[in-house]
C-alpha cells in the first residue's frame, strides 16, 4: 500500500473521498498545518461526533479541506483564510458532483472554524470542526505547534527579563509563551460541544503543565 493510500485509509469509511481531496488539502510547507494536523483533527472530530452526532461524511470533507488555502499567521490576509478555503472547497466538491446543500454545509463549517475569522458556527458539523481543530491548539501538541510557529515567524521563546509579562504588555508576536495567555488558555471557554469541552479541559491542564515545566527550567 502506498503512503497516499495509507493516509486515505485513516479517513475510513471515506477512503475514496480522502483519496480525491488529500492532493488539495495542504497548500504550503507549514508543519503546523500539514497532513499530520489533518489526521489529528479527524481523530478529534470522530471522538466528538461519536458523542454528539452529526453527519460524518460532511465532517470528513470539512476536515480534509479546512486548511486547503494557507495564509501565514503574520499575514494581513490571515482573517480571510477560512473564507478562501471555504470557496476553494466548494469548487472542489462541486467538481465531485456534491449537491448544493452538502457543499453549503461543508463550506459553512470551514468558514467558521477559524479563530481569526470570529464567525459563530451554526450547524452541528461546524461546531464539531471548530472544536476538533482547536483541540489541536492546546495540550502537548498545541505547545509544540506554538513553538514551531514562533520559530517560523522569527519570534523568541520568551522575554528573559519578564517571561510572564508581569511588568510589560503581552506580545505573542515577539515571544512564544505570551501566546499561551493571549490565546491558548482562552480557547477552552469557547468550545461549542459538551464532548469537545471535556476534551479541551484535559488538554488545557497539560498545556499549563508544559508552561510550568518551562518556567521551572528558566
* Structure confidence by residue, pLDDT tens digits, 47-101: 999 999 999 999 999 999 999 988 766 666 666 788 999 999 999 999 999 999 9
How far is Cα 177 from Cα 118, in angstroms, rounded to an integer?
23
> What domains can be seen in the chain, in order of their start residue?
1-132 (1.10.3210.50), 137-218 (1.10.3210.50)
The neighbouring-strand residues paired with 170 are none
For 119-144, what is each residue's pLDDT tens digit? 899 999 999 999 999 999 999 999 99
Calpha distance 65→193 (Å, rounded): 21
pTM value is 0.93
The residue to which cell 485509509 is assigned: 9
58, 102 Cβ separation under 8 angstroms: yes
**Nine-digit cell string for 144:** 509544540
Task: Quote the cell numbers at residue 82.
Answer: 477560512
Work out the number of other CB atoms within 10 angstroms of the CB of residue 165.
17
Amino acid at each position: 500500500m502506498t503512503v497516499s493510500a495509507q493516509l486515505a485509509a485513516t479517513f475510513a469509511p471515506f477512503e475514496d473521498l480522502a483519496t480525491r481531496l488529500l492532493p488539495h488539502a495542504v497548500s504550503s510547507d507549514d508543519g503546523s498545518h500539514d497532513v499530520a494536523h489533518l489526521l489529528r483533527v479527524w481523530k478529534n472530530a470522530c471522538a466528538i461526533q461519536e458523542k454528539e452526532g452529526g453527519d460524518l461524511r460532511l465532517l470528513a470533507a470539512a476536515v480534509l479541506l479546512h486548511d486547503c488555502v494557507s495564509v501565514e499567521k503574520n499575514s494581513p490576509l490571515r482573517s480571510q483564510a477560512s473564507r478562501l478555503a471555504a470557496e476553494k472547497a466548494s469548487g472542489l466538491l462541486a467538481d465531485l458532483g456534491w449537491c448544493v446543500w452538502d457543499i453549503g454545509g461543508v463550506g459553512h463549517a470551514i468558514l467558521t472554524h477559524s479563530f481569526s475569522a470570529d464567525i459563530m458556527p451554526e450547524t452541528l458539523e461546524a461546531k464539531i470542526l471548530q472544536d476538533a481543530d482547536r483541540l489541536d491548539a492546546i495540550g502537548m501538541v498545541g505547545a509544540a505547534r506554538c513553538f514551531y510557529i514562533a520559530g517560523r515567524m522569527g519570534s523568541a521563546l520568551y522575554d528573559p527579563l519578564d517571561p510572564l509579562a508581569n511588568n510589560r504588555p503581552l506580545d505573542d508576536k515577539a515571544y512564544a509563551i505570551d501566546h499561551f495567555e493571549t490565546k491558548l488558555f482562552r480557547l477552552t471557554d469557547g468550545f461549542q460541544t459538551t464532548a469537545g469541552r471535556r476534551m479541551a479541559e484535559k488538554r488545557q491542564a497539560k498545556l499549563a503543565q508544559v508552561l510550568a515545566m518551562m518556567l521551572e527550567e528558566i
